[in-house]
Chain A
Amino acid sequence: MLKHLFKLIWNKKKQHFLLMVEILFSFLIMFAVFTLAVYNYKNYQRPMGFDHENVWALSYYDKDRSGADKDSLALFYEMVKRTISHAPEVAAVSFVSNNSPFTMSMNNSVITRNNKTAQVDHFSADDDYVGVLKPVLLKGRWYGRADDGAALEPIVVNRSFETMFFPGEDPVGKTIKVGDHDARIVGVVQDMKDKGDYKPLGPGLYQRTTRSSYSWLSRMLIRIKPGAGANFEGRLYKQVAGILQDATVEIEHLDEKRVVKNNITLIPLIVFGVIAGFLILNVSLGLFGVLWYTISKRKAEIGLRRAVGATGAGISRQVVSETLVLATISLVVGLFFAVQFPLLNVFFMEESVYYTAILLALLFIYALVVVCAFYPGRQAAGIYPAVALHED
C-alpha cells in the first residue's frame, strides 16, 4: 500500500516538487516558533523565587564619590537608610548594586572550582535584603551581624550555583574564590528570576556590602507596607532629594518594571508569532487549493478505482494518505536540518527544548496536511464512477 502511494507521488515528482518545498519551509518555520514558545514557556513556569510586590527601587545618581572618606560616607548613607526605615509605611530597606531586579544592567564574575569555570551573576546587597525581596532560603542562612568579625567575607549563592560547582556536596561552610579573595558560603537560596518572567535561571552569588561599598552604591530597594500610596511616595521623594543634595533621584515600582521587562521579551515574540501564523495560513490555503484542483484533474482515475470496487471511504483515505506521504518526504529533509540544532548546540538551549519543538512541529504539520486534504478527499469520495468515466 505504502509502496503504491510512494510510486504515485514519484511519478508526479515534478508537479509535487514545489508543494514539498513549501511543506519543508513551513516545518522549519514552525520548528522556530515552537522552539521559542517551548523555551519561554519553560522559563515562565518556574517560580519567581522572590516577592516583588510592594517593593520600590530608589536610585540616586550622585557625583563621583571614590575620593571621599570611607567612614564619613558610611555614616552618611547609614543615616539615610535609617531615616527611610523609620517611616511607618516602610517595612524594610536594603542597599543593592545596580543589577537589581528587572533592570538592564548586568554584573558578572568568573568563578572557578574543580576545573569548572563559569560566568556567574554577581549581586551586592546588605543584610536586610532578606526582608525586602524575601528570597527562599534552602540551606544555611542569609549573612548578617553575626559575620561582622569573620575572617572570610560571607556570601550566599543560588541553587544553580550549587548544582554547577558543588554537585553532590553541601556548599554551606565551604570557601570559594570570588575575584581575587576567598569568601565563605553561608547559605543557599532558590534561583530568582530577577531578569523577567521569561528569562532562564543561572548561577548567581550575593555578596555582602561593606562600609567601603558606599562609594559606588546608588540604589536602595524599599519594601512598603500594603496600602501606602502615591501620597507617601511624593513625601519620600521630597525627603530623600532633600538629604541627597546634587543627586538625581528616581523612584520606580518593581511591578511596573517587571511588565516593561517582560514586554521586551514578549513583543518581538508576538510579532514573530503573528508573521509565522500568517505564513502558515497562506500555505494551508495554497495546499488546500492545489489539492482540490488535483482531485478535479484525477476524476477519471478515481472513477476507475470506484468502478473496480474501491469504497468512498477508501478513496478519501487514499487522498489523505497520499498527502501524508508527500509531507513525510519533506519532513524527513526538514528533520535533517532541525536535528542539527541540538546536535551542534547552536543557541545553548537545553536539548529537550529542541526535541519537544521538533515533535510539536511534526504534529502540527501532519495535522495541517490532514485538515487540508480532508475536504478534497471527501470530494473525491463523492465522485460517481459512471459520471467520471463518461466524462472522458
Chain B
Amino acid sequence: MSFLEMLYFIIPSAILYATPLIFTAIGGVFSERSGVVNIGLEGLMIVGAFVGIYVNLEYASTFGTATVWVAMLAAVIVGGIFSLLHAVASISFRADQTVSGVAINLLGLAVSVFLVKMIYDKGQTDMITRSIDRFGIPYLQDIPFFGPLLFRDVYSTSILAFAVAIGAWFIIYKTPFGLRLRAVGEHPMAADTMGVNVNRMRYIAVVISGALGGLGGAVYAQSITLNFSHATIAGQGFMAIAAMIFGKWHPIGALGAALFFGVAQTLSIAGSGIPYIQDIPAVYLQILPYVLTIFALAGFIGKASAPKASGQPYIKGKR
C-alpha cells in the first residue's frame, strides 16, 4: 500500500469515527461551560443510539431516504429530555454532579437494553436497512489530492458536525447568550448579580448537551455499528469527555481533539492492514486518547483548566 493510498484510507475513516465524538464533545462543552459536569454523556449517547436504531428500524418504510434524519431528530429530542434528569438532580436538587452523571450512565444503558428486550425479545436489534449515506461534494471533490481525501465519499453527518462545531464557537464566544453561559460557569454569583438567571442558563446548557449527546449516539449507531446492543456504545461518551478536555473546553479545540482521537481509533481498529502501523501493538493506540488527556491535564501539553464553578451547585445567597 502506497503512502497516498494509506492516507486515502485513514483520513476518511478517521473523520467517520470522529463525527459522533464531535457532537458529543461539543455537548459536553456547553454543559461544562455553564458549570455542570456531565459524566453522563456516555449514557446519553447510549439512549441516542437506541432511539436512532429503533426509529430507523420501525419507520424506514414510512420516511424512505429521510429515515436517518428523522431518527437523528428523535434521538436529539429524547436525549434532551433524558438529560433533564441530570439537570433536575444536579441543578435543582443540588446532587453531586458526578454521582448524578454516573446514575445517568447506568440508567441510559439499563433503560435501552430493557426496551430492546421488551420490544424485540432478544439482546440486540436487527441491522438497519438505511444507514447514513455518503456523497461527493460537487467541484470540491475534483481538486487534486484534497478532493479524494476530504470531499469524495463524505458522510453528510460529518459536514453537520463541522457546522455544529463552528456554530457552537459562534454561540459561545460571539453572542450574549454565550457570554452569560460562560459567566455562570466561571462566577455564578457575579452573573446572578448582573441579572442572569443562573439555574435557567444551566438547564438550557445541560439539555443542549443531552441533545448533542443523543445525536452523537444516533450518528455512531447509524454509520458504524448499524444495530443496537448493550455494547454498541463502549466508551465513546467518555472519549468525548476526553476530547472536550483535550480541546480545553473550546468547541474548535474539541473538534480538533475529536479528529485526532478518530485517527487513533481508526489505526487501532484497522491498523493491522497498514504498513508501519501494524508493527505497533493496538493497545498503544487504544489507550492513546486517554493517556494524552491525562498529560494535557497535568500540564505537559499546554494547561487545560476547567471552568471555575464547574461541579458546584449554585445556591443563592451563599458565599
Q: Do chains A and B stick together as partners?
A: no
Which B residues are within 8 Å of any A CB, using their own CB? Answer: none
